Amino acid sequence: MGQKRQMRIREFTMDDYDAVLGLWRTAGPGVHLRTSDSRTEIAKKQERDPDLFLLADEDGQLVGAVLGGWDGRRGLVYHLAVAPAHRARGIGQALMEELEHRLRAKGCLRYYMLVARDNADALTFYEHLGYERMDDIVPLARSLTDHWGSLE
Ligand X SMILES: CC(C)(COP(=O)(O)OP(=O)(O)OC[C@H]1O[C@@H](n2cnc3c(N)ncnc32)[C@H](O)[C@@H]1OP(=O)(O)O)[C@@H](O)C(=O)NCCC(=O)NCCS
Q: Which residues of 27-49 are buried (b: 16+ CB within 10 A; e: fewer)?
A: beebbeeeebbbeeebeebbeeb
Which residue is closest to ligand X by CB?
Answer: 30
* SS3 assignment, position 33: coil
28 scored as a contact of ligand X (CB under 6 A): yes
Among 20, 27, 54, 65, binds ligand X (CB under 6 A): 27
Nearer to ligand X, 132 or 146 (CB): 132
In the complex, the smallest distance separating the C-beta of residue 57 from ligand X, rounded to whole angstroms, is: 14
Is residue 80 part of the contact set for ligand X (CB under 6 A)?
Answer: yes
Element (H, E) at 19: helix 17-25
Q: What is the H or E stretch that residue 20 is in?
A: helix 17-25
Question: Would you give the binding string for ligand X spanning residues 114-143, x where CB under 6 A is met?
Answer: -x---x-xx-xx--x---------------
Residues 103, 73: contact at Cβ < 8 Å? no
Positions that interact with ligand X (CB under 6 A):
27-28, 30-31, 80-82, 87-93, 113, 115, 119, 121-122, 124-125, 128
